[in-house]
Structure 1
Amino acid sequence: MHEPVRDRLVSLRRRLHRHPEPAWREFYTTARLVDEIRAIGVDELAVGPDAYDPADRMAVPDDDLEPWLERARKRGADEDLLERMAGGTTGAVAVLERGDGPAIGLRVDIDALFIEESTSPEHDPAAEGFRSEIAGTMHACGHDAHMTWGLAALEAIAESDFSGRLVVFFQPAEETGGGGCPMAKSEFADGLDYLLAIHVGLDHPTGEVVAGIEKPLAMCHVDATIEGASAHAGKAPNEGANAMHAMGTAIENAYGIPRHADGMTRVNIGKAEAGTASNVIAEHAHMEAEARGETTELMEFMKRRLERTVKSAANMHGCRADVEIVSESPRADSDPELQSLVSEVAGGVAGIERVLPAADFGASEDATFLMERVQDDGGLATYLIVGTDHPTSHHTPTFDVDERSLKHGVDVLVETIRELEHRHPVARTAADGSDE
């Protein structure tokens, strides 16, 4: 007999935590989610290429997929599901069709990070036996909690007298900005009246809820390859075209790109490699970078400047540069109408002691693709935060969540969905404060 998700929030989150998988490699994770969704019972379940067009994916790795697929197979993942996901088409969409009422989307992310989890006895996952079992990979951003919320909310609505349509997007590849776009372009995003996205923590403590983020940064990931010519570094350095020197110039000049008067901009070179030996002029260099902006337009400005900077530096040193935009995501702000509703709902949830109507995000998220899609189609969207006491920052080896927040997140989501059902349609507020 299937034990209800709501009765095992902690154990389910810990099981997901033990098996982290990075972007487009979430084979076992997806299979585990599908098992849970099938046990809940939904009206439609789409997995991988049935959930979106694989051609719309971004930041898909060129290799490294097969070992993760084989690992999932050895862990007992359903073979039919693995065949469907071959090539890195991971993730799932679950749909409840329950008569007349609003169409509501809920987006949760499922991927992990390339971080080696701490073995310190002061780190609860290590001390209590649910530390990552996959070397060099970890749920260091709370996506294990997000998946637990998504399953528990789906179950609660499935067992209720809800009237309407609920679509839960179990989205892969958030950390690389690769999965939001295909989900947003899919048929499952058609006709949504409302979209809820959610995150745990982000420096908000247990018992606090942010009803909607504002000012997420638009973002792009950029890969650049510089090709030069090798030569003997002692005998004939003049015969080479130094790709490493060109890359160094590109890095220095990238950080010198002027800030923009219209708002916040960011650029960072996060990874750089070049060369083969101390006595060889490097003929090849590779760097991974990102550009961000307070608006989509500002991100585009930084992206163009970064691309021009890299190519100019390569040309200066007699080299050639290829610049690839690996992934990107737009800015999309939460709608005040939904922020107000979530604020009201969260204020009545047991354990929630403080509700912030809004907060600046200051980072980037590809849930903005879904938010933008719903908003462009006339619907409302919000990205809410459920606080948790995390001992260290997100994306660190000792990140963890306060498991009391698991129930908080489920309750806020379920009550918000039911309130949207009862208040539908939630009217937009015009600039003059009147209802549209």
Structure 2
Amino acid sequence: MNEPIRDRLVSLRRSLHRHPEPAWREFYTTARLVEEIRAIGVDELAVGPDAYDPADRMAVPEVRRLASWDRWARDRGADPDLLDRMAGGNTGAVAVLERGEGPAIGLRVDIDALFIEESLDEDHAPVSEGFRSEIDGTMHACGHDVHMTWGLAVLEAIKESDFSGRLVVFFQPAEETSGGGCPMAKSEFADDLDYLLAAHVGLDHPTGEVVAGIEKPLAMCHVDATIHGTSAHAGKAPNEGDNAMHAMGTAIENAYGIPRHSDGMTRVNIGYAEAGSASNVIAEEAHMEAEARGETNELMAYMKEKFERTVKSAATMHGCRADVEVVSESPRADSDPELQALVSEAASGVPGIDHVLPAADFGASEDATFLMERVQQDGGLATYVIVGTDHPTSHHTPTFDVDEDSLEHGVDVLVETIRELERRHPVPHVDEGTDVGDVADPEGSE
């Protein structure tokens, strides 16, 4: 690891791609990140429970579901002392550079993977070039391997520069379940940040394109629902049972019939459902995992309340009862136009970037919004940047991959933005509703 990260962006990204770990199971990933961060040399490094309060985590798996992931990391040589510190799924890290007077800038990158089996198709580059996931059923199918590479490379570049100020890099776990953004936002490391940058690769924007700041991310909640019925012999005495599976079917059908709202976009989806034990047994229990989204926090709350009512009503209709639990959620937070304008200017001068969009609607959800909201509420500015990449198939699919030119693009855009924030600090606030194009450099630099 003596070779600079900037000279091994591709190999580092591919190494991370081979070892994907889902939310709160990122044991090996965190250990690998810490190894790189220690080689860079930072002024403060907090791992797991030292980076946040574990009580603030959301969507944490049962401890028994974590043990195999801990063993897997140990078998592959992860530092056992680090793994002990991450016991209970307290993964992730925060790295801090203190470089004298200047702005306090946060950079958030996410580190978790998805429960997706990566393609074995020889046309899939990770297969043909030998860096396919080594963990069955798990894959970096959303580019978080790229994001981690950016985070490390930016940290190294700023460390080696004459930057003056404070840089805090959040290597955040559990984005896919909206479980890790909240504890990071509540931590001491989010205190007194002047600016917060979050970044994502791709999202249907091609290589060479940058979106300076997203708008209209959907507020979202993950909801688990369990319906409790009464089992009975399906042939001899079906009337003696209360069919949890039938109740679940009614709940699913009715959930998709929840009225949309005139105030804006709403979404509901049941992504996982299971029930029953045998064909001749009335199902005693049924379980669903769902999500509700809305264009605003209020619209998400509307969908969440309607979904809970729908499930409980369906259970009652069939003589059952339902437990509904919100396991995680994330708010809406829009990018600030001041930073959108600054990122637009910074990105325009980066080699390989030929198109910059000041803003774009996001249309999905992200728990980086917790950090964005925290910084904005404290008087700072935040933006969520998209660095385009040509990806052959959509995010969250078995054949997702990236154009590795975007590795260098992302590093350059983020480093240039951080240096520009240093030069222009304090970036003045503008009135709400100001067009991004109207927020110009006060000195008129090109």
- Match of 2:222, SS state, is strand
State the partner residue of 1:89: 90
SS at match of 1:153: helix
In structure 2, the residue matched to 1:12 is: 12
Distance 1:257 1:391 in 2: 35
Other-structure match for 1:210: 211
Alignment of 1:33 onto 2:30: no
What displacement does 1:265 show? 0.3
SS in 2 for 1:241: coil
Alignment of 1:192 onto 2:203: no
Please name the residue that 1:45 is paired with. 45
Which amino acid in structure 2 is aligned with residue 355 of structure 1?
Answer: V
Alignment match, 2:255:
254
Take 2:168 and 2:218, find their aligned partners in 1: how far apart are those partners? Answer: 26
Name the TM-score, length of structure 2 as normaliser. 0.97
Q: Which residue is equivalent to 1:404?
A: 405
User: Which residue identity lines up with residue 345 of structure 1 in the other structure?
Assistant: A
Segments ≥4 residues shifted beyond 6 Å: none
Q: Deviations over 1:24-63 (max 9, x none)?
A: 0000000000000000000000000000000000001113
SS in 2 for 1:167: strand
In the alignment, what sits opposite 1:116? 117
Alignment-derived partner of residue 58 in structure 2: 58
Provide the C-alpha distance between the structure 2 equivalents of 1:337 and 1:156, rounded to a whole number of angstroms. 24
SS of 2:279's partner is coil
SS of the residue 1:8 aligns to: helix
Residue 235 and residue 432 in structure 1: after superposition, are their counterparts in 2 closer, same or farther (change >3 A)?
closer
Is 1:24 equivalent to 2:24 in the alignment? Answer: yes
Distance 1:22 1:127 in 2: 24
Q: Distance in 1 between matches of 2:314 and 2:418?
A: 52
SS in 2 for 1:133: coil
In structure 2, what is the Cα distance between the partners aligned to 1:405 and 1:313? 48
Q: Map 1:301-316 onto structure 2 (within 5 A).
A: 301-316=302-317
Give the match for residue 153 of structure 1. Answer: 154
| CA shift for structure 1 position 431 | 3.9
Counterpart residue number, 2:442: none
Which residue of structure 1 aligns with residue 364 of structure 2? 363
Counterparts of 1:252-291 in structure 2, within 5 Å, are: 252-291=253-292
Between the aligned partners of 2:432 and 2:35, the Cα distance in structure 1 is: 46
**Post-superposition shift, 1:180?**
0.3
Q: Provide the secondary structure at the position in 1 that maps to 2:350.
A: coil
Partner of 2:422: 421
State the 1:430 CA deviation.
1.5
SS of the counterpart of 1:384?
A: strand
Following superposition, the deviation at residue 432 of structure 1 comes to 7.8
1:270-303: CA deviations, max 9, x gaps?
1111111111110100001000000011000100
Which letter maps to 1:252?
Answer: E
For 2:5, give the aligned amino acid.
V
Counterpart of 1:320 in structure 2 is: 321
1:3 paired with 2:24, answer no
Q: State the distance in 1 between where 2:244 and 2:330 align.
A: 30
1:340 to 1:46, Cα distance in 2 relative to 1, 3 A: same
Which runs of 5 or more structure 1 residues have no equivalent in the other structure? none
In structure 2, how many angstroms separate the alpha carbons of the residues matched to 1:113 and 1:30? 16
CA separation in 2, counterparts of 1:281 and 1:329?
A: 37
Q: Which amino acid aligns with 1:81?
A: L
In structure 2, distance between residues paired with 1:218 and 1:247: 25
Q: 1:124 to 1:102 in 2, by over 3 A?
A: same
In 2, the alpha carbon distance for the partners of 1:431 and 1:224 equals 39
Instruction: Determine the structure 1 residue equivalent to 2:301.
Output: 300
Distance change (3 Å), C-alpha of 1:432 and 1:105: closer
Q: Match for 1:188: what amino acid?
A: F
Distance 2:284 2:67 in 1: 30
Asked if 1:390 is matched to 2:391, the reply is: yes
2 CA distance for matches of 1:430 and 1:260? Answer: 29
- In the TM superposition, 1:320-339 aligns within 5 A as 320-339=321-340
CA distance in 1, matches of 2:163, 2:416: 11
> Aligned partners of 2:2 and 2:429: how far apart in 1?
41
Q: Residue in 2 aligned with 1:346?
A: 347
- Aligned Cα RMSD in Å? 1.0
Q: 1:431 and 1:14, CA in 2 relative to 1: closer, same or farther beyond 3 A?
A: closer
Counterpart residue number, 2:140: 139
Q: What is the distance in 2 between the residues matched to 1:370 and 1:411?
A: 23
